[in-house]
Structure 1
Amino acid sequence: MFAFSSRGNAGAVIEGGAVHLRHPELSDHEQWSRLRAASAQFLRPWEPVWPRDDLTRPAFRARLRRYGAEIRAGTGYPFFIVRNSDEALLGGITLGNIRRGVAQNGQIGYWIGERFSGNGYMSEAVGLVCEFAFARSGLHRLEAACIPDNGRSIRLLEKNGFEREGVLRAYLKINGQWRDHVLYARINPMHEDNARRAHTD
């Protein structure tokens, strides 16, 4: 389970056992840019081509402005993943493309620094975002898409209750090429329970 708290000017925090999630701040730029630079080769196969100035402070400031607009509009919630034991920045995870109305769904995307991968941090972060999306934001459905040969991401999603629904052909331009993606989705457990009860009534 997650809990909400406040850590100074960092705003709302989603607390987990080994990590917590919080919105990015301008003071994070140096640590974030170092981690991204050190993990560039590790992340390149799974991400769009980075803009030339992507790691600069002005680009990071622009990124924060976009994040702020999404948070205010309720269309996206970007988080940094921070280790509880030493406040190390491990990576990022976003609940984005939120649609309300009859859809009530959103998409998650994530990345982690190379030296922190394989330690269970991202699995906990995905679980925390799912609980935030369902219990706090009231969403009905979450989607995530990954490249078919990204076995680590597929295992991560399946471990967190996502089920494969199909293939999205030439879905995103990753590392300079349009790549197919596997679509995974998870339904709010409370809504699944309600649907089962309605079906049996």
Structure 2
Amino acid sequence: MLWGRRALLPSGYGARLEGRLVYLRPPARVDYAPWRALREASREFLVRWEPTWTAEAHSRGTFLRRVKYAGEEWRTDQSYSFLIFRREDDALLGGITLGQIRRGVAQTGSLGYWIGAPHARHGYMSDALGCVVSYGFGELGLHRIEAACLPHNEASRGLLLKLGFREEGRAREYLRIDGRWQDHLLFGLLAGDNWRRRV
């Protein structure tokens, strides 16, 4: 099966991407309960890699606004948000956003991703990222995809290198993560790189 195969959703926007272990689609209102449950159950696993969680971070209202904005940003070619589901039982596993789309002379986007604690290190994120990278270079026509991770996040660094991303440098105090400004390692992948063979 080819990664990144596109099928329009009934909602009128978005795509369903098919991997070997997972499939991805944009978030929908019906995803709130499993999304909240997975995020809350994975709190200790996730907070060290993410911006500080507010009291409203996992409220229904916040989630529904995310769904609304995801649709608007998709339609205006600003950002492409996906939830990740396991093919065998439709369990929600995590999420990926290919955002900060820059057209013109750049043709670039940036990846952000998370996975629930019970599903880490089972190959799901590698499969999912392969789908989104293929979609970015194929359907979206991007030339470059970027990603960043904390220097001590060995799992994320290893995943990006496995996919064929190249480590390109270190940005000082790049993002405010877990309540403080922290350095990040910067990675890049080009459409012309031979990345498919590495997955």
Q: Does 1:126 align with 2:129?
A: yes
Alignment of 1:64-75 (within 5 A): 64-75=67-78
Q: TM-score, normalised by structure 1?
A: 0.91
Q: Give the paired residue count.
A: 192
Measure, in 2, the Cα distance between the counterparts of 1:57 and 1:111.
19
In structure 1, what is the equivalent of residue 7 of structure 2? Answer: 5
Q: Does 1:177 align with 2:171?
A: no
Larger helix percent: 1
CA RMSD of aligned residues (A): 1.7
Match of 1:159 among 150, 159, 162: 162
Quote how far apart the aligned CAs of 1:6 are.
4.9
In structure 2, what is the equivalent of residue 35 of structure 1? Answer: 38
Measure, in 2, the Cα distance between the counterparts of 1:134 and 1:26.
28
Q: Sequence identity, in percent? A: 46
Gaps of 5+ in 1: 193-201
Quote how far apart the aligned CAs of 1:56 are.
1.0
Measure, in 2, the Cα distance between the counterparts of 1:118 and 1:191.
24
Alignment of 1:71-110 (within 5 A): 71-110=74-113
In structure 2, what is the equivalent of residue 44 of structure 1? Answer: 47
**Aligned CA distance change for structure 1 residues 8 and 86 (closer, same or farther; 3 Å):** farther
Measure, in 1, the Cα distance between the counterparts of 2:167 and 2:33.
37
Quote how far apart the aligned CAs of 1:191 are.
10
Quote how far apart the aligned CAs of 1:8 are.
5.4
Amino acid at match of 1:52: A
Measure, in 1, the Cα distance between the counterparts of 2:45 and 2:193.
37
**Does structure 2 conserve the Cα–Cα contact (< 8 Å) formed by 1:165 and 1:183?**
yes
Measure, in 1, the Cα distance between the counterparts of 2:14 and 2:109.
22
Measure, in 2, the Cα distance between the counterparts of 1:107 and 1:37.
26
Amino acid at match of 1:123: S
Quote how far apart the aligned CAs of 1:69 are.
1.7
Measure, in 1, the Cα distance between the counterparts of 2:140 and 2:57.
30
Match of 1:150 among 146, 149, 153: 153
